[in-house]
Amino acid sequence: MRYLDVTTDYAFKRVFGSPQSKPILISFLNALLQNEGPHAIADLEIVDPYLVPVIEGMKDTFVDVKAVLANGSRIIVEMQVLNTPGFEQRILYNAAKNYAQQLAKGQQYTLLNPVIAVTLTDFVMFDDSDAHVSRFKLLEQQRLTKYTDDLELVFVELPKFGKTEADLATMEEFWLYFIKHSSEMDSVPARFAADPALLQAFEMAEESKLSLAELEMQHRRFDFIRLQRGSIEKAGLDGEARGRGIGLVEGRAEGKAEGLELALQRLIAAGVAEDKAREMLGMVA
């Protein structure tokens, strides 16, 4: 049995954002957000469920899963595979946009419901901490008192999650292990099969369950992301190397620019339109 790489954005949305994924998403969110007892998510509606996406262009490096809870709260869950320019700002922008767009003209602000933006990254964001989960809210700077619970950002850095299968103890750990290692497994481990939501997640991730169009899209998407990652990393390395050679800040900037230009040419040679390639690399056309 072969399973999709769930860290790939579209595979992530297939597993967690399909019309039949409600039990999976509820279990994952309750585990990650540590919702228990009366605070546990009992029901939700998946907004904009997974459909076979269009391959042409493939410019996005993320796909999100949106859900509305029974109490009206909004949750955005996103798998981010590349650390692209403006990534942190986009996360905050999307959360604020989903918060503001709840109101129609003339409606009262009291009708606004909380928004939680959950972002899983396949790269390290916060070098100053070993914690793989970070949660941010609006706080007063000195007393650290909450201003409101209406906006929360939750980040999961998968590279920091290093537990082995034998070490798994909580549902959060089981879910993160599944997301990080699904493509490496050839069967459902017994401890995972004991939980209905986890078992369903494995079934959703089976490559044999995909249509030929979906399977082709997943493979091409994986190759596309790998090309982007390699180009961006090469651009950064070339820029840093050039900067070290010159020994000046200006030299580092010049080297990075040359590295980005090289990455741009490689993307174009691989068949990506120039405007799309510039957007991926954060270059102004």
Query: What's the confidence (pLDDT) of residue 26?
Result: 96
Query: What's the confidence (pLDDT) of residue 251?
Result: 42
Alpha carbon separation from 103 to 67, 98, 256 (Å, rounded): 17, 10, 43
Q: Is the pLDDT at 43 greater than 70, yes or no?
A: yes
Q: At 137, which helix (H) or strand (E)?
A: strand 133-139
pLDDT tens digits for range 98-151: 999 999 888 999 999 999 999 999 999 999 999 999 999 999 999 989 899 899
Alpha carbon separation from 148 to 68, 115, 140, 222 (Å, rounded): 19, 11, 10, 39
Query: What's the confidence (pLDDT) of residue 246?
Result: 44
The more confidently predicted of residues 218 and 22 is 22
Query: What's the confidence (pLDDT) of residue 248?
Result: 41
Output the CA torsion sign for 186, 80, 200, 38. positive
Q: State the CB neighbour count (10 A cutoff) for residue 282.
A: 13
Q: Is the pLDDT at 216 greater than 90, yes or no?
A: no
> How far is 232 from 234, CA to CA, in rounded Å?
5
Nearest to 9 by CA among 119, 174, 165: 119
Average pLDDT over every residue of 82-92: 87
Average of per-residue pLDDT values in the chain? 82
- Residue ranges of the alpha helices (H) in the chain? 9-17, 22-32, 87-100, 171-181, 190-193, 196-204, 212-246, 249-269, 274-280
What pTM was estimated for this model as a whole? 0.74
The token duo for 81 is 């595979």
Query: What's the confidence (pLDDT) of residue 243?
Result: 47
Query: What's the confidence (pLDDT) of residue 41?
Result: 93
The segment with the largest mean pLDDT, out of 43-47, 223-227, 243-247, is 43-47
* Most distant pair of Cα atoms in the chain: their distance: 60
Q: At 160, which helix (H) or strand (E)?
A: none
The more confidently predicted of residues 91 and 233 is 91
Q: State the CB neighbour count (10 A cutoff) for residue 195.
A: 14
Burial of 255 (0-12, 13-18, 19+ CB in 10 A): buried
The residues pairing with 137 across neighbouring beta strands, listed in sequence order, are 152
> How far is 200 from 15, CA to CA, in rounded Å?
9
Q: Which of these ranges, 31-35, 176-180, 195-199, 266-270, has the smallest mean pLDDT?
A: 266-270
The more confidently predicted of residues 56 and 220 is 220
> How many alpha carbons lie under 13 Å from residue 233 in its C-beta half-sphere?
9
How far apart, in Å, do the first and last CA atoms of the chain sit? 45
pLDDT band for position 10 (cuts 50, 70, 90): confident
Is 241 in contact with 213 (CB distance < 8 Å)?
no
